[in-house]
């Protein structure tokens, strides 16, 4: 029996009628309109829903609403209008302490509670206060800086190179940004999915209609039979193999077999849904999947081999035979979960004969095209309106909620919503590929590399997703940013009865970098060379061919990264030595590793188009189709465009990536948006500027001013209202496309896969508790060649966030289906786990990049894990070849040394 419940919400009386045992977070969001309260886990593990209850921070998802009766509940919406709130709001923006913004309300509320009790907290007090709120984007350091009120490093007004606030930072910090689950109005039908509980299972459905009509609150059900077009989706042509609903056999734990459309406030127990599962023998590792007689995931893929990638140059076997020293090893890593704090969510409705899908995504146009195939419709009938994205990191490139939303809206004719639970998100969406790598690398006495062989198996799970990209990218990158004349690398993706592995920041390269960079350390040791100098000696340079035979005559910045790290390297090694001389139970170590990453698709077209216009009122509109998933594309693309056009950033108005009004800027992946969409934005800015100057017959160098509906260039004036407007209301417009120049790879992987690479080198300092095997990272120095930093604060944010993910991958993260399907068994770094990061921005301009800029999004975590492993070795003498290096595993490795 539900009763009315009165609370004081943000200082005002509020009342609702929650169900018995309803979570306060649900009541606040769905009955009281407080959508600034975010739900990330419903288990107290992420803290996104933090509110103050009588002044004390609590997870609203753990408070029965009735328990709050008569008490004061404060959310960010109320707290931000307080002295602490206003000050913190400004500092969060100044430090860019919000990236995607999904954890920001929880962070802000927790921080305001702290600042009320302790106006000038020290760092450990900040960590204690924020330890209960997880952030997956920032690496926490900017948040700590903001809460402590450390000075911000803002500069300029928004020109290329200026460290300005994010242009969408205010709303993200205010908690008003609308994410996937923030769109649906209260009362919207709610979709829930029925998922397979086994790695592999045959299943039969009972009488769904009878169940639906007998079960209060159930409106309709959906199964594979409700898919009007093809019951398959995927991201790579030829590998479209994942069903929306499994048809008779589920191939991984968590695969959807049916959906239930429920009334908004219904309580439906999915345990009563009429389905019976029969577990079948499953293969869960590449070894099992490749064994003779193993069940095939897809009948047309013998041996469960999805596909492979291959690169060869020179004669690696002969080179290894003549090498003076050889290092080799077998390296493994497990599934890594993206663990963005926003589970997949969205809302869909029919508008006439079209479907309109509002959901969090990294790839709106790909979503549209995939949905058209699933629906069997022309794509003109599909509109994708992306919501803000509460973290993506690669997994939101794939469809998740979208097909179910569309099918449910189609079946019922009513708007529907769907938000994955944390467990569903972890079970059913893509993961980083587990890797199983055999690698040999040789060198000669003079310190030069001499041959490398790389054989990698990647567990690609039940469906292809971005597995082919991983298989192709890894051989192209597994050399690292070094000159190797003799090289052979082969990678294969192997299907298993596991969740699909897909895109995760680096597409397999973070895994291969572990093997290569750890073996480089071993080679340096065998040669008695300094690890940094050995790398610098072999670093790729302008004019030297890559392992694909591509020769860059400019823009190769890895040598400059090593140069930048050299002073920190020397001082950190000396400090560690001094520390170790006076400590027994704990030892410090310093490790280095490098990485490179080709920006954009591998030897495939990946154009971005940017449309811009000026209205009769003088508003300068940038149709910005590059999904900002927290990395800052909205700000970067706008800064580039404004600079090219020659107007201040503050004068640019953004229209987002709605497929009805904004051209395709491609997917947010492959570190391509700053580079590719940025180049399109620069061209669009140039074109618009040229059109204006041409109209006013002004020279190229003229300064353009737009004010009060007029364009002013020197003495010339143009009243915009007098000009004819097009159908979109623009009196000036430009639309420009950029596609990076690449060449196909031949059968030996030789060609020009990318127009540019970005380069990075990280230095990690760790402290190891020898008796317990626990590793505490105590500092990073990260050198990144970004060509030209469009906004240095954004660069730092990417670097710090990437390092946090690399740290997690190295030390704590492993997704095990059925065992770590939540955020208390699957651990990601907390605010207490991230040490300070010094970011050294290296700018080796690239001829293709806008103003010389290069991509960065994935480079930022590639060197982190191997740098940590090398630091652990330096501290302890233990060489780890598997991640994560949990205390238990390091302890075993340390014991094996003695």
Partner 1 sequence: MGYSMPTHLDDALSALARHGDARIVAGGTDFFPALGEGPAPQTLIDVTRIDGLRGIAQTAEGWRIGAATSWSDILRAPLPPCFDALRAAAREVGSVQIQNSGTVAGNLCNASPAADGVPPLLALEAEVEIAGPAQTRRLPLSKFLLGVRKTALQKGEIVTAVHVPTQPDGMVSAFRKLGSRRYLVISIVMVAANLWAREGRIAGARVTVGAASPVAQRLPALEAALVGRPVNDPGLTRPEHLAPLSPIADVRGSAEYRQEAVTELCDRAIRQALAHV
DSSP string, 249-307: EE-STT-EEEEEEE-TT----GGGSSEEEEE-----SHHHHHSTTPPPSSTTSGGGEEE
Tell me: does residue 6 bind partner 1 (CB under 8 A): no
- Does the footprint of partner 1 cover residue 44 (CB under 8 A)? yes
Q: E strands along 664-729, which residues? A: 704-707, 710-713, 716-719
Cβ proximity to partner 1: between 269 and 353 the closer is 269
Among 58, 763, 856, 872, which residue interacts with partner 1 (rule: CB under 8 A)?
Answer: 58
**Minimum distance from residue 269 beta carbon to partner 1 (Å):** 5
Task: For partner 1, give the closer residue by CB, 767 or 843.
Answer: 767
Residue 59 found at the interface with partner 1 (CB under 8 A)? yes
By CB under 8 A, name the one of 8, 43, 240, 705 that touches partner 1: 43
Stretch that binds partner 1, among 64-72, 163-171, 309-317, 348-356 (CB under 8 A): 64-72
Kindly state the smallest distance separating residue 892's Cβ from partner 1, in Å. Answer: 7
On whether the CB atoms of residues 841 and 795 are closer than 8 A, the answer is: yes
CB of 195 to partner 1, least distance (A): 11
342 forms part of the interface with partner 1 (CB under 8 A): no
Stretch that binds partner 1, among 202-210, 545-553, 693-701, 880-888 (CB under 8 A): 880-888
Q: Are strands 487-495 and 305-313 parallel, antiparallel or unpaired?
A: antiparallel
For residue 761, how many other CB atoms are within 10 A of its CB? 35
Shortest Å, Cβ 583 to partner 1: 15
Of 6, 225, 583, 824, which lies in the binding site for partner 1, with binding defined by CB under 8 A?
Answer: 824
Query: Binder to partner 1 among 75, 110, 428, 601 (CB under 8 A)?
Result: 110
- Measured CA angle at 322 (ends 319, 328), to 5 deg: 70
Does position 887 interact with partner 1 (CB under 8 A)? The reply is: yes
Say if residues 28 and 60 touch (Cβ distance below 8 Å). yes
How far the first Cα of the chain sits from its last, in Å, is 65
CB of 132 to partner 1, least distance (A): 2
CB of 438 to partner 1, least distance (A): 26
> What letter does residue 465 receive in the DSSP assignment?
T
Nearest CA among 102, 112, 141 for reference residue 833: 141
Give the nearer residue to partner 1 in terms of CB position, either 69 or 294: 69
Rg (CA), the chain: 27
Nearer CB in complex with partner 1: 166/192: 192
Q: Is 373 exposed, middle or buried (0-12, 13-18, 19+ CB in 10 A)?
A: middle
Q: Which ranges constitute the DSSP H helices of 780-845?
A: 792-811
Name the DSSP letter for residue 152: P
How far apart are the C-alpha atoms of 555 and 852, rounded to whole Å?
9
Give CA–CA dist 345/233, Å, rounded.
Answer: 18
Q: Which of residues 248-267 bind partner 1 (CB under 8 A)?
A: 267
3-state secondary structure 103-117: CHHHHHHHHHHHHHH
x-marked contacts with partner 1 along 759-798 as a string, rule CB under 8 A: ------------xxxx------------------------
Tell me what percent of the chain is helix, strand and coil, each rounded to the nearest 5.
Answer: 30, 25, 45
832 near partner 1, rule: CB under 8 A: yes
Measured from the CB of residue 56, what is the shortest distance to partner 1 in angstroms?
4
CB 768 within 8 A of CB 587: yes
Distance CA 638, CA 99 (A): 16
The answer to whether 2 contacts partner 1 (rule: CB under 8 A) is: yes
Considering only 30, 36, 45, 664, the residue that binds partner 1 (CB under 8 A) is: 45
Q: Would you count residue 801 as binding partner 1 (CB under 8 A)? A: no
Comparison of 389 and 807: residue with beta carbon closer to partner 1: 807
Q: What is the DSSP track for 434-459?
A: PEEEEEEEEE-TTS-EEEEEEEEEEE
Q: What does the block give as tokens for 274?
A: 């009429």
Question: Are 384 and 661 within 8 A, CB to CB?
Answer: no
User: Residue 197 interacts with partner 1 (CB under 8 A)?
Assistant: no
Rounded Cα gap, residues 142 and 484, in angstroms: 38
* Identified binder of partner 1 from the candidate list 226, 767, 814, 846, rule CB under 8 A: 814
Which residue among 56, 120, 528, 896 contacts partner 1 (CB under 8 A)? Answer: 56
CA dist., res. 716 & res. 279, Å (int): 77
Decide if residue 429 touches partner 1 (CB under 8 A): no
Choose the binding region for partner 1 from 66-74, 448-456, 514-522, 691-699 (rule: CB under 8 A). Answer: 66-74
Neighbouring residues of 834: CB distance < 8 A, sequence distance ≥ 6: 139, 140, 141, 777, 800, 803, 804, 807
Of 205, 811, 878, 893, the one binding partner 1 (CB under 8 A) is 811
Binding mask 368-387 for partner 1 (x = CB under 8 A): --------------------
Compute the distance between CA of residue 32 and CA of residue 78 in angstroms, rounded to an integer.
13
Confirm or reject binding of residue 134 to partner 1 (CB under 8 A): yes
Count of residues of this chain found to bind partner 1 when the rule CB under 8 A is applied: 65
Q: Name which of 63 and 514 has its Cβ closer to partner 1.
A: 63
For residue 232, the 8-state DSSP code is -
The answer to whether residue 118 forms part of the interface with partner 1 (CB under 8 A) is no
* Cβ-based nearer residue to partner 1, 66 or 82: 66
For residue 60, the minimal CB distance to partner 1 (Å) is 9
| 647 Cβ neighbours under 8 A, 6+ residues apart | 620, 704, 706
Stretch that binds partner 1, among 62-70, 440-448, 518-526, 730-738 (CB under 8 A): 62-70
Give me the least distance between CB of 377 and partner 1, in Å please: 32
Confirm if 766 and 807 have CB atoms less than 8 A apart.
no
Q: Which residues of 11-43 are buried (b: 16+ CB within 10 A; e: fewer)?
A: eeebebebeeebbbbbbbbbbbebbbbbbbbbe
Whole-angstrom CA distances from 501 to 427, 450, 731 are: 11, 33, 47
Site for partner 1 in 667-686 (CB under 8 A): none
* Residue 888 binds partner 1, judged by CB under 8 A: yes
What is the pattern of x (binds partner 1, CB under 8 A) and - over residues 398-427?
-----------------------x-x----
Pull the structure tokens for residue 808: 């997690």
Residue 42 binding partner 1, by CB under 8 A = yes
Q: Which of 66, 82, 575, 882 binds partner 1 (CB under 8 A)?
A: 66
Binding mask of the shown chain, residues 265 to 284, with x at each position contacting partner 1 by CB under 8 A? --xxx-x-------------
Token duo for residue 361: 């995504």
Residue 69 interacting with partner 1 (CB under 8 A): yes
14-33 binders of partner 1 (CB under 8 A): 19-23
Shortest Å distance, C-beta 662 to partner 1: 35
| Interaction of residue 526 with partner 1, rule CB under 8 A | no
Of 303-332, which residues contact partner 1 (CB under 8 A)?
A: none
Listed ranges 61-69, 78-86, 472-480, 871-879: which one lies at the site for partner 1 (CB under 8 A): 61-69
Q: For the residues of 635-660, what is the DSSP string, one character each?
A: HHHHHHHHHHHTS-GGGEEEE---TT
Residue with tokens 């430009």: 734
Task: Identify which range of 63-71, 182-190, 428-436, 854-862 contacts partner 1 by CB under 8 A.
Answer: 63-71
Provide the binding-site residues for partner 1, judged by CB under 8 A.
Answer: 1-3, 19-23, 42-45, 47, 50, 53, 56-59, 61-64, 66-67, 69, 110, 127-129, 131-134, 192, 267-269, 271, 421, 423, 771-774, 811-812, 814, 816, 819-820, 822, 824-825, 827, 829-833, 886-888, 891-892
């Amino acid at each position: 029996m539900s009763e009315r419940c009165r609370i004081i919400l943000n200082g005002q009386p509020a009342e609702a009628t929650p169900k018995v045992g309803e979570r306060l977070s649900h009541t606040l969001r769905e009955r009281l309109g407080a959508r600034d309260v975010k739900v990330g886990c419903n288990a107290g593990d992420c803290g996104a829903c933090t509110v103050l209850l009588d002044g004390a921070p609590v997870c609203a998802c753990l408070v029965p609403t009735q328990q709050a009766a008569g008490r004061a509940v404060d959310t960010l919406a109320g707290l931000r209008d307080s002295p602490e709130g206003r000050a913190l709001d400004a500092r969060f923006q100044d430090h860019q302490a919000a990236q995607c913004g999904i954890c920001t309300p929880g962070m802000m509320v927790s921080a305001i509670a702290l600042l009320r009790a302790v106006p000038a907290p020290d760092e450990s007090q900040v960590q204690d206060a924020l330890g209960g709120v997880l952030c997956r984007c920032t690496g926490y350091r900017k948040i700590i800086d903001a809460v402590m009120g450390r000075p911000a490093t803002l500069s300029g007004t928004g020109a290329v190179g200026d460290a300005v606030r994010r242009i969408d930072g205010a709303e993200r910090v205010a908690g008003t940004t609308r994410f996937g689950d923030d769109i649906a109005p209260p009362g919207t039908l709610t979709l829930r999915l029925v998922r397979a509980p086994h790695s592999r299972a045959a299943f039969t459905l009972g009488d769904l209609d009878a169940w639906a009509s007998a079960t209060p609150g159930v409106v309709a059900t959906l199964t594979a039979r409700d898919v009007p077009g093809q019951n398959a989706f995927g991201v790579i042509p030829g590998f479209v193999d994942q069903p929306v609903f499994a048809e008779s056999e589920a191939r991984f734990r968590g695969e959807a077999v049916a959906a239930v459309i429920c009334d908004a406030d219904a309580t439906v127990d999915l345990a009563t849904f009429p389905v019976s599962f029969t577990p079948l023998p499953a293969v869960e590792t590449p070894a099992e999947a490749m064994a003779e007689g193993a069940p095939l995931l897809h009948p047309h893929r013998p041996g469960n081999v999805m596909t492979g990638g291959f690169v060869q140059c020179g004669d690696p076997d002969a080179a290894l035979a003549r090498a003076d020293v050889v290092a080799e090893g077998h390296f493994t890593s497990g599934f890594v979960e993206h663990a963005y704090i926003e589970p997949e969510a969205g809302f869909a409705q029919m508008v006439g004969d079209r479907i309109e899908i509002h959901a969090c995504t990294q790839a709106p146009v790909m979503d549209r095209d995939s949905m058209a195939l699933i629906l069997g419709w022309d794509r003109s009938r599909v509109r994708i309106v992306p919501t803000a994205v509460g973290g993506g990191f690669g997994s939101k490139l794939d469809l998740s909620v979208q097909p179910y939303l569309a099918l449910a809206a189609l079946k019922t004719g009513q708007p529907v919503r769907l938000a994955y639970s944390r467990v569903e998100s972890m079970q059913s969406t893509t993961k980083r590929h587990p890797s199983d790598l055999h690698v040999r690398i040789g060198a000669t006495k003079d310190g030069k590399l001499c041959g490398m062989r790389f054989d990698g198996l990647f567990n690609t799970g039940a469906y292809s997703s971005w597995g082919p990209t991983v298989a192709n990218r890894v051989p192209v990158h597994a050399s690292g940013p070094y000159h190797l004349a003799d090289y052979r690398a082969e990678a294969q993706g192997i299907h298993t009865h596991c969740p699909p592995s897909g895109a995760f920041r680096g597409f397999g390269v973070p895994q291969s970098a572990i093997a290569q960079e750890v073996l480089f350390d071993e080679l340096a040791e065998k040669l008695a060379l300094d690890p940094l100098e050995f790398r610098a000696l072999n670093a790729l340079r302008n004019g030297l061919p890559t392992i694909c035979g591509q020769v860059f005559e400019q823009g190769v910045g890895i040598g400059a990264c090593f140069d930048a790290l050299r002073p920190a390297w020397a001082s950190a090694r000396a400090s560690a030595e001094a520390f170790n001389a006076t400590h027994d139970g704990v030892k410090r170590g310093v490790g280095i590793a490098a990485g490179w990453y080709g920006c954009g698709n591998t030897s495939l077209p990946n154009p971005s188009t940017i449309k811009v216009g000026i209205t009769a009122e003088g508003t300068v509109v940038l149709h910005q189709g590059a999904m900002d998933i927290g990395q800052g594309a909205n700000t970067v693309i706008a800064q580039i465009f404004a600079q090219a056009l020659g107007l201040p950033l503050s004068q640019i108005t953004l229209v987002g990536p709605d497929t009805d009004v904004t051209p395709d800027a491609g997917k947010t992946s492959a570190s391509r948006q700053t580079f590719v969409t940025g180049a399109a934005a620069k061209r669009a800015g140039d074109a618009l500027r040229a059109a204006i100057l041409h109209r006013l017959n002004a020279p190229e160098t003229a300064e353009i001013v737009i004010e009060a509906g007029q364009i002013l260039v020197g003495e010339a004036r143009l009243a915009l209202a007098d000009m004819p407007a097009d159908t979109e209301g623009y009196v000036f417009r430009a639309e420009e496309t950029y596609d990076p120049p690449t060449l196909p790879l031949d059968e030996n992987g030789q060609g020009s896969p990318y127009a540019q690479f970005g380069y990075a080198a990280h230095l990690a300092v760790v402290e190891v508790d020898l008796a317990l095997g626990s590793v505490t990272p105590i500092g990073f120095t990260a050198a990144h060649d970004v060509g030209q930093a469009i906004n240095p604060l954004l660069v730092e944010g990417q670097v710090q966030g990437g390092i946090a993910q690399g740290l997690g991958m190295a030390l704590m993260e492993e997704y095990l289906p059925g065992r770590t399907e939540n955020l208390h068994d699957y651990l990601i770094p907390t605010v207490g786990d991230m040490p300070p990061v010094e970011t050294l921005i290296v700018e080796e301009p690239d001829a293709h990049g806008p103003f010389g800029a290069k991509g960065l999004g994935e480079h930022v975590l590639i060197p982190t894990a191997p740098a940590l492993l090398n630091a652990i070795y330096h501290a302890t003498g233990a060489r780890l070849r598997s991640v994560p290096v949990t205390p238990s595993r390091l302890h075993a490795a340390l014991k094996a040394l003695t």
